[in-house]
Each structure stands twice: as C-alpha cells, then as structure tokens.
Amino acid sequence: MRKKIVAANWKMNLTLGEGEALIGGILEAGLRLAEDRQVILCPPFPYLVKAKSLTRNYPHFFIGAQNCAAEAAGAYTGEVSAAMLQSVHTDYVILGHSERRAYFGETGPLLKKKIAQVLAHGMKPIFCCGEPLDIREKDTQNDYVQAQLAESLLDLSAEEISQVVIAYEPIWAIGTGRSASPAQAQEMHAFIRSALAGRYGNEAALHQTILYGGSCKPENAADLFGCPDVDGALVGGASLQADSFIGIVNHL
C-alpha cells in the first residue's frame, strides 16, 4: 500500500519563533493518523534541527528540506549539501519545485544530480514536475511532464524510484488562488503513474506516492484526495496557518 502524505512547504516564510508556534499548533491538534499516513514539514534550512526536535516523539511526522546542492562538498558558498542535511536527520528533500526551476534556472540534468545526492545519503526526494499555463492551453501538458520525468527520474533503478515521492504542480495554479479541478489532477496523476508503469511495471507504479501541489486548501482537499491516483498534497500557502494545514491533513 502506498503512503498517503501531506507535506508543508513553508518556502521563505516565518521567523524561528513563528515556525515553532506553527509546529506547536499542529501538534496540539492531536491528529490521529493511520499507519500509512505521513505529515512532512519542510521549513527553511535554519529551522530543520528545531523542527526535528519538536516532532521527535510523533511517529507520523517527518522533516524535509526545501532544496539541496548538486555537489557533494566544496567551494560553493551559500549551498547546503545532502551530507549536511543527513547529519541533522532530515528525512525528505524537495527537488525541482517550479520556483527553483523558474527563478534559479534549475534544469532536468541538474535535478538528476541532486536526486542522486539525496538518495546516496539515505533521504527521500520529493520530485516536483508540472506545466505552465501556456503548455496547458496548448494541451501538451502530458508531453511536457513526460520530458521532465525522463530528464531527471526514469534512469533510476526500481529500488531507487521506490524511494521517490512525486509532486505534480500545475504551475498555473501555484499562488494564484486557482486550482486544478479534481478531474484535471486525476488525469495528470494517472498519466504520471502510467509513465512509471511503462518504465518500472504496474506493481511498482501502484506503490508510487504522487502528490498534488497546486493551491490545495481545506475546501478542496477532500475532492482532490478522493481521486484514485492522488495520494495527498504538497501544500504551500495553506501550510503557514495551523488551522488550514490541519484542515487539509484531516481529509487525508
């Protein structure tokens, strides 16, 4: 049975004190999660140690970083390596978020190197893929996402791909207040699963966790999570308030 996950991407938001208060509010809700359910909190780098400490007694809670370097070590001022993240007991690493691709020029081959670093250090990548509005309007989103998968993921072994969580981000729905309809989300998630099946077989594809990452809110979470190929969400803005994030997790 594949994992069902809600992951919180705080992006470049919150002070340490605000982050502590947010985690405290989430934990105080007393969420009851089934064995196959997980919550992943992805704060900015400086807060990873504190977040891990606060959640250490909560077995369904995991900590993720928002990025890592493609190189193992060296003269890369300002970068954070996979080894550094592993040393502070990070569980997951978000890679290929649309903002990293757009603002920092991250490419498929670069992300392939980052994925290799994360896997080599015993952590799990959350690999983001998805199309911008012009691609959606041309109805070529499947080809676009297929190319992203091929560039960064599909050379992995079956064992390696089983450690990856995929997050589908319709870029036109991130931070815009728009969301893909449940039907649009399901269609793309099913396509991604079929692409994995073509490479790794149906059994492996059925065990792959695929998250929706485009303006998920408490109001639309139930409909999205009710889709057979949607296994949870990578949540941005709605993860910055305890009540809204809890509302999403309660639909998992």
Backbone dihedral angles phi then psi of residue 174, each to the nearest 5 degrees? -90, 120
* CATH code reported for the domain at 4-249: 3.20.20.70
Quickly state the pLDDT bin for 1 (edges 50, 70, 90): confident
Q: Tell me: pLDDT of 239 over 80.
A: yes
- Distance from C-alpha of 17 to C-alpha of 5, rounded to nearest angstrom: 26
- Distance from C-alpha of 48 to C-alpha of 50, rounded to nearest angstrom: 6
> Tens digits of per-residue pLDDT, 71-113?
999 999 999 999 999 999 999 999 999 999 999 999 999 999 9
- Distance from C-alpha of 202 to C-alpha of 148, rounded to nearest angstrom: 20
81 Cβ contact list (under 8 Å, min separation 6):
68, 69, 71, 72, 73, 117
133 Cβ contact list (under 8 Å, min separation 6):
171, 172
Quickly state the pLDDT bin for 173 (edges 50, 70, 90): confident
Smallest CA-to-CA distance from 233 within 39, 14, 24, 44 is with 39
Q: What is the mean pLDDT of residues 109-133?
A: 97
Q: The pTM is what? A: 0.97
Asked whether the beta carbons of 126 and 92 are under 8 A apart, the reply is yes
Give the ranges where the chain is alpha helix by DSSP (H). Answer: 16-28, 48-55, 82-87, 98-104, 108-120, 133-137, 141-152, 158-161, 182-200, 202-206, 218-225, 242-249
Lowest-confidence segment of 12-26, 104-118, 163-177 by average pLDDT: 163-177
> Tens digits of per-residue pLDDT, 190-231?
999 999 999 999 999 999 999 999 889 999 999 999 999 999
Q: What percent of the chain has pLDDT over 90?
A: 94
Q: What is the mean pLDDT of residues 147-158?
A: 98
Q: What share of the chain is helix, strand, coil (3-state, %, to 5)?
A: 45, 15, 40
Q: Tell me: pLDDT of 175 over 70.
A: no
Q: For the chain, give the mean pLDDT.
A: 96
Q: Tell me: pLDDT of 179 over 80.
A: no
Q: Residue 174: what pLDDT?
A: 74
Length of the chain: 252
Active site residues: 97, 169
